[in-house]
A and B are shown apart, each in its own frame.
Chain A
Amino acid sequence: MRDAACAAIVDRFREDRRTALVLADISLDRLEPAFRHDPSRVVNVGIMEQTAVGVAAGFALEGFRPIVHTLAPFLVERPFEQLKLGFGYHRQEGLFVSAGASYDYSKCGLTHHAPGDVAALATIPGMEGIVPGTAREAADAVRRSHGNGRATYLRTSVSENSTEWELAPGGLTKLRTGAALTVVAVGPMLDRTLAALDGIDATVLYATTVLPLDAASLVAEAAPATDVLVVEPFAEGTLAAQVSAALSHRPIRLVSHGVPREVFPRYGTVEDHDRAHGLDARGIRERVLALLAA
């Protein structure tokens, strides 16, 4: 997914002379063609993420369409105020493509984890958030969002779905219709969620745009049943406010199933962390069954 996103970034860089690329010593090999194409529009500031986003804001203030790419904690959390001021308050356009979602860098420990990225960005007015589930979706998202006139966060991850789906324009796509409950599966959570729902009569909505969540589609497509489960690859409850607001016209019982908001000082593999947090198919199914039985 990261490779596909970087290739799409290079394509946009070549196609659009207003593209500026700002890097912080990450993915230089993948993005090297941009340096060769037009070094005046690409800057590697070094390991300086606050400066990277500030530099991107400077490009934006001069009419460029900057793209910034680095790892999620260093693209969102460290330069958060630069994003808020330089792009949110200034209402500037920029595309922020992260790698290393949640605990993708599980072996590096907590300093390289960022499950709170989307929740933090949700507080910036106008910020768009895209969480693709496949490499193709990531590349398409780069092409679709770059040049859209707004600030967009694109969250790539090492976890991917195996199936390509035709996505709805608003980024909330109905894949199955069922009566027992509504399940919203976000980005790379889809495959495991579908596996977890084997034999369960659920409506399944696939969310790839999460900021904003397509409220109109959620209202139109959600099952009449009260129970709603959100399976999210980031901090548990990140989308709860949006789902609650969208469905506020009727009673619901909302359960958020994501990365627990706790310090989890473990290493190991991504799969180890998925299992520990109940974010594998088995854990998701247990949560669904518990919800239906309660």
Chain B
Amino acid sequence: MLMQTDEIAELGELMRLATGDEKHEASATSTLDVLYVLYEHVLRIDSANPAWEERDRFVLSKGHGPVAYYAVLARKGFFPAEELTRFMEFDSILGAHPDRAQVPGIEASTGSLGHGLPMAVGIAYALRAKGLAEQRVIVLTGDAELNEGSNWEAILHAGAARLSNLTLVAIDNRSSSIRIDPIGDKLTAFGWDAAEVDGRDHDQLRDAFERRGDGPTAVVAVVRS
């Protein structure tokens, strides 16, 4: 069950504008509440200036099912909501996987699994090198995506390097074909500060995202419906 707020209902309406067999409905709806909370309450962004240097960075590593992402971005004003009606059309900016060259506000083109988290580590380093101490990078993966070894290389490195400006949110909707939970325990073993929360509970999500320590943080957002 989605947490029924007016805002979520509004996003649901936007999502329904998009149709097509590559919509990945389950994948898209699994991320909806997390994306809403991030863009409404956590990320410092400016839809009028997507390249604002002092913004927080968000990478949807799990590029599958980006319709919820598109709906959230449209609601925040990154592009007109009407674009959703042209989802996957030849000349649409919105494809089945997000493209940073096409869509304002998208930091990285994803869809191939296991790319976003290493990139987020690089972005975290880059923010540090630029002296942007307050900015953070948040990367979203799915539990199935965490099958990819590149994620665990990045997780191992980020934990050892104590990248405190990096946050991983792992959507655990049990889509992995091999048993991977409890994800939080694995991340903790790699030096991350991990919390497991209800992926539909906005208050729990907000509290979890507010945590900042001396190393990377993780939010395992459990979604069972």
Q: Which residue of B lies closest to A53 (CB)?
A: B118
Contact with B along A38-71 (1 / 0, CB 8 A): 1011010110101101111111011110000000
19 extra interface residue pairs, beta carbon distance < 8 Å, beyond A54-B121, A61-B126: A40-B128, A43-B122, A48-B156, A50-B114, A50-B118, A51-B118, A53-B118, A54-B115, A54-B117, A54-B118, A54-B154, A58-B122, A59-B123, A59-B126, A61-B108, A62-B127, A64-B126, A85-B109, A90-B101
Q: Bound complex: CA of A82 vs CA of B116, how far in Å?
A: 10
- Kindly list chain B residues whose C-beta atoms are within 8 Å of the C-beta of A86: 115, 119
- Find out whether the CB atom of A85 lies under 8 angstroms from the CB atom of B153: no
- Find out whether the CB atom of B112 lies under 8 angstroms from the CB atom of A58: no
Tell me the B residues contacting A by CB distance below 8 Å: 100-101, 107-109, 112, 114-115, 117-130, 149-150, 153-154, 156-157
- Find out whether the CB atom of A51 lies under 8 angstroms from the CB atom of B129: no
Q: Which residue of A lies closest to B157 (CB)?
A: A45
- Find out whether the CB atom of A51 lies under 8 angstroms from the CB atom of B121: yes
B61 to chain A minimum Cβ distance, whole angstroms, is 10
Interface presence of A20 (CB below 8 A)? yes
Tell me the A residues contacting B by CB distance below 8 Å: 20, 22, 38, 40-41, 43, 45-46, 48, 50-51, 53-59, 61-64, 81-82, 85-86, 89-91
B147 to chain A minimum Cβ distance, whole angstroms, is 14
- Find out whether the CB atom of A82 lies under 8 angstroms from the CB atom of B126: no
- Find out whether the CB atom of A46 lies under 8 angstroms from the CB atom of B153: yes
- Kindly list chain A residues whose C-beta atoms are within 8 Å of the C-beta of B127: 62
Q: Contacts A20-B129, A51-B118, A90-B100 given: A62-B123 contact, CB under 8 Å? A: yes
- Kindly list chain A residues whose C-beta atoms are within 8 Å of the C-beta of B150: 48, 50-51, 54, 82
- Find out whether the CB atom of A51 lies under 8 angstroms from the CB atom of B123: no
30 contacting pairs across A/B (C-beta < 8 A):
A20-B125, A40-B125, A40-B129, A41-B129, A45-B121, A45-B153, A45-B157, A46-B156, A50-B118, A51-B157, A54-B118, A54-B150, A55-B118, A55-B121, A55-B122, A57-B119, A58-B121, A59-B123, A59-B126, A61-B100, A61-B119, A61-B126, A62-B122, A62-B127, A64-B126, A81-B115, A82-B118, A82-B150, A85-B112, A89-B109
Q: Bound complex: CA of A55 vs CA of B123, how far in Å?
A: 7
Q: Which residue of A lies closest to B111 (CB)?
A: A85
- Kindly list chain A residues whose C-beta atoms are within 8 Å of the C-beta of B115: 54, 57, 81-82, 85-86
